[in-house]
Amino acid sequence: MLFDRDGTLIRDVPYNGDPNRVEPMPGALEALGRLRRADVPVAVVTNQSGVAKGLVSPDEMDQVNAKVEELLGPFDAWAICVHDDADGCTCRKPAPGLVIRAAAVLDVSPRDCVVVGDIGRDMEAARAAGARGILVPTALTLPEEIEHAPEVADDLIDVVDRVLTDAEGPVPAGARISAPWARTMGWSRW
């Protein structure tokens, strides 16, 4: 599962370079713990344009990410875009690059990933990569982003309930499951 960082895993503090301001979102630790116990790989896919804008140094960003892992546990992959919108890169959400990169590190197809985020850009990146997108709205999520989301969950616990329940469904005939988390992620090589 691929999670957006700000507004999804941790409270959104715009251009945060201070690890002391990192605060997990409600249910984040429990949700990640359940996924890890189910052997589901977890990764972070995050835009960090504050680096390109000179508002956050790469070292400050790394310190914030280290604090996220200290509070929420280790992630199997981090895919970070430090570009600004004007840079025209292919990794910055809503482009699919971060999803594709994280999937490659996890050795799965992007089509077999679930992207969890709090804004439309996260859902657009999931759609562009062919991944399943689940929106967890916050007070900052726009009504049209909720309306256009492919799937909307109440919170991170709801997301994990949906994904793990889906994983308990029947395995298609002839499917070869080679990892415990394969049913959750719909694992396949690409």
Domain membership of residue 180 (yes or no) is: no
Domain membership of residue 56 (yes or no) is: yes
Judge whether 112 is annotated as a binding position: no
The reported pLDDT for the residue numbered 174 is 37
Judge whether 4 is annotated as a binding position: yes
Domain membership of residue 139 (yes or no) is: yes
Residue type, 13: V
Catalytic residue numbers, as ranges: 4, 6
Domain membership of residue 171 (yes or no) is: no
Domain membership of residue 175 (yes or no) is: no
> What is the number of structural domains in the chain?
1
Could you tell me the residue range of the domain that residue 78 belongs to? 2-166
CA count, 13 A, side-chain hemisphere, 102? 33
Contact 113, 1 (CB under 8 A): yes
Domain membership of residue 176 (yes or no) is: no
Judge whether 113 is annotated as a binding position: no
**Can you give the CATH number for the domain in which 132 is found?**
3.40.50.1000
Domain membership of residue 172 (yes or no) is: no
Give the pTM. 0.87
**High-pLDDT (> 90) share of the chain, %:** 85
CA 149 distance to own-chain centroid: 15
Domain membership of residue 97 (yes or no) is: yes
pLDDT digits (tens, 9 = 90+) for 91-143: 999 999 999 999 999 999 999 999 999 999 999 999 999 999 999 999 999 99
